[in-house]
Amino acid sequence: MIELYALTDHPAPSLPDGASLSTVAHAGLAFVWGPAPTPTELSPELLWRHEELLEKLMEDRDILPVRYGTRLPDEAAAAWALCERHHELALALDRVRGAVELSVRVIGTEREPPPADGMSGTEYLRAREQTSTARASALRTVHEPLSLSARASSERAPRAAGELVRAAYLVDREAVQEFAATVTRLQAAHPRLRLLCTGPWPPYSFSET
């Protein structure tokens, strides 16, 4: 059993030393794969190892990450999948070529409303409206300008308390510093918000493999 890590161009630079990775290639594309780890259960250690390998790969090549846990019986099965989906995979890699992913979270610094079970119905609706208004404002003043600095963007549902925006941006490698400077300017312009920018990462949010 093997596990797929990423799609990349072929030929490409040598694989990282000591990573137990191999490639299977067809018509200018290659899957990077390695032996499927055991045990098969998801663990923080396996996730970190997967992430570490992808970050090493992206240092000197364009990659399209493959969804974590994608396993195939053997190298022949990987070669067949690469051949069968070649046109689709080539287009997907082209979409992220020369770019990386940057993530931005926007946190509201206003005091959080009390839990819903401590509110009256009117208070709860008012708090919901305030949150919705704050989120719409953050999307307009932060997410929209950042989207203009990116090749593509992907907005996701907020997760943490106080989080107004959680988004990923596909940014050209040579524009990463300019994008980060835009985040800094937006932070200065909106002191009531807290902007957290991380990356660059492999373009997970823009991969459909």
Domains of the chain: 2-96 (no CATH), 99-206 (3.30.70)
Residue type, 160: A
Average pLDDT over residues 163-171: 97
pLDDT of residue 208: 75
Confidence of residue 131 (pLDDT cuts 50, 70, 90): confident
Question: CB burial class (10 A; 0-12, 13-18, 19+) of residue 41?
Answer: exposed
Asked if 206 contacts 155 with a C-beta cutoff of 8 angstroms, the reply is no
- CA atoms of 124 and 42, how far apart (whole Å): 38
CB burial of 13-36 (b: ≥16 within 10 Å; e: otherwise) equals eebbeeeebebbebeebbbbbbee
Average pLDDT over residues 68-96: 96
Average pLDDT over residues 91-105: 98
